[in-house]
């Protein structure tokens, strides 16, 4: 989390949100604070997830649109969290910070299952197939979704502020900036229809779901936006390769990528037909994720906090962007 936001996020703000959702004010556990503050909270000994977002990251209307879509997917049988109302009957609550900005909060059900590390035995073809099945089901259902709020919509993919790379990356990274703009122009020319483009999660890596041994349960819809469905195929592949194949050579990475995709696509097609031209689009969306990851790492992690592993990752991503190469 940026240091300016950290300075505003006080115990009193957390307490106000716990109060308005009738959660235990003394018993809670912080789970994360990269782009949002995420807590496991409790009411009558039952666990919930409280997510707090600063207004510099998301507008109130954006969060409202997100949680409505998540509830819609939940109601259609997609394995995603249920969203709970506050004591005031709201699905998004707000509290003002001392500088006049706002924090927004929503409460979700806690996903069943457990997190699976990329090095775990369970990170295998059975999981990859379940991964594809879950995303295929989500894509099938999102085609029929209509936002109910006239003033609350999720952004289009190219409204993502991280794509303004010149705002975050070093000035010396001129080729990164040039190649990013060229890639965005190429993507903007891709055709759109309801079977290839819609509201999607955009960030379903292994850190954003739990696995119960049979199904995956997806959470963290903070980055959801209107995008090509093929991007939701590219992102699982991207992160599986990024973290599983850190030290692998090109042949090993290619072999694992094929293993992953074969199982993932088998599961996906059980629930939804593959989007037209997904194979042509896949390398483009893999390159796009390099851009957004490169940008967010510079935005969120101060120079003094970057360890050698992170610096190596930044170097590898930069090289791919400059060479117009994808990770697979």
On whether the pTM is more than 0.75, the answer is: yes
Alpha helices in the chain (DSSP H): 3-8, 11-20, 60-75, 125-142, 174-188, 231-244, 250-271, 278-300, 308-323
Question: Range with the lowest mean pLDDT among 51-60, 124-133, 145-154, 279-288?
Answer: 145-154
What per-residue confidence (pLDDT) applies to 248?
87
What per-residue confidence (pLDDT) applies to 294?
97
pLDDT higher than 80, residue 158? yes
Q: How far is CA 113 from CA 144, 195, 214, in A?
A: 28, 31, 9
Structural domains of the chain in order of their starting residue, each with its CATH number:
3-109 (3.30.200.20), 125-323 (3.90.1200.10)
Structure tokens at 66: 């997100």
Structure tokens at 136: 């295929």
Angle at 228 between CA 224 and CA 246, to 5 degrees: 75
Sign of CA dihedral 49, 151, 149, 204: negative
SS3 of residue 288 by DSSP: helix
Q: How far is CA 69 from CA 116, 145, 153, 154, 204, in A?
A: 26, 8, 10, 10, 16
* CB neighbour list of residue 319: distance below 8 Å, 6 or more residues apart: 325
Query: Cα separation of 221 and 167, whole Å?
Result: 24
Query: Cα separation of 31 and 302, whole Å?
Result: 21
DSSP string of 177-198, one letter each residue: HHHHHHHHHHHHTS---TTTEE
Q: Which of the four pLDDT bands, split at 50, 70 and 90, describes residue 153?
A: confident
Phi-psi group of 326: left, alpha or beta (phi > 0 → left; psi -120 to 50 → alpha; rest → beta): beta
What per-residue confidence (pLDDT) applies to 12?
96
What per-residue confidence (pLDDT) applies to 244?
93
Q: Which of the four pLDDT bands, split at 50, 70 and 90, describes residue 247?
A: confident
Q: How far is CA 24 from CA 27, 193, 299, in A?
A: 6, 46, 34
Structure tokens at 69: 């879509």
Structure tokens at 323: 């060479």
pLDDT higher than 80, residue 258? yes
pLDDT digits (tens, 9 = 90+) for 171-229: 999 999 999 999 999 999 999 999 999 999 999 999 999 999 999 999 999 999 999 99
DSSP state of 207: G
Mean pLDDT confidence for 77-84: 98
Average pLDDT over the chain reads 96
pLDDT higher than 80, residue 270? yes
Mean pLDDT confidence for 67-83: 97
What per-residue confidence (pLDDT) applies to 149?
74
pLDDT higher than 90, residue 24? yes
pLDDT higher than 70, residue 151? no
**Of the candidates 265, 284, 282, the residue with the CA atom closest to the CA atom of residue 273:** 265
């Amino acid at each position: 989390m940026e240091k300016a936001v950290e300075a505003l996020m006080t115990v009193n703000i957390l307490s106000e949100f716990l109060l308005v959702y009738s959660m235990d004010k003394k018993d809670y556990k912080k789970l994360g604070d990269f782009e949002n503050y995420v807590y496991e909270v409790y009411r009558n000994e039952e666990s919930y997830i409280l997510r707090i977002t600063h207004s510099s990251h998301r507008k109130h209307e954006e969060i409202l649109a997100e949680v409505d879509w998540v509830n819609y997917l939940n109601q259609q049988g997609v394995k995603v969290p249920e969203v709970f109302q506050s004591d005031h009957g709201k699905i998004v609550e707000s509290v003002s910070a001392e500088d006049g900005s706002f924090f927004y909060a929503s409460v979700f059900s806690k996903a069943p299952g457990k997190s699976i590390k990329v090095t775990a035995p369970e990170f295998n073809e059975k999981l990859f197939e379940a991964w594809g099945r879950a995303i295929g089901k989500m894509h099938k259902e999102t085609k029929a979704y209509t936002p109910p709020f006239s003033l609350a919509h999720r952004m289009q993919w190219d409204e993502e502020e991280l794509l303004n790379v010149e705002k975050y990356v070093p000035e010396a990274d001129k080729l990164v900036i040039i190649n990013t703009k060229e890639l965005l122009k190429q993507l903007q020319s891709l055709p759109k229809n309801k079977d290839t483009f819609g509201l999607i999660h955009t960030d379903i890596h292994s850190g954003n779901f739990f696995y119960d041994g049979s199904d995956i349960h997806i959470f963290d819809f903070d980055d959801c936006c209107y995008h090509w469905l093929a991007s939701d195929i590219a992102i699982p592949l991207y992160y599986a390769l990024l973290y599983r194949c850190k030290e692998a050579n090109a042949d090993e990475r290619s072999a694992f990528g094929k293993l992953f995709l074969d199982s993932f696509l088998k599961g996906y097609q059980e629930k939804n037909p593959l989007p037209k031209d997904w194979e042509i689009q896949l390398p483009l969306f893999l390159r796009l994720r390099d851009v957004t990851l490169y940008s967010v790492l510079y935005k969120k992690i101060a120079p003094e906090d970057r360890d050698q592993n992170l610096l190596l990752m930044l170097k590898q991503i930069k090289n791919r962007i400059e060479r117009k190469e994808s990770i697979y």
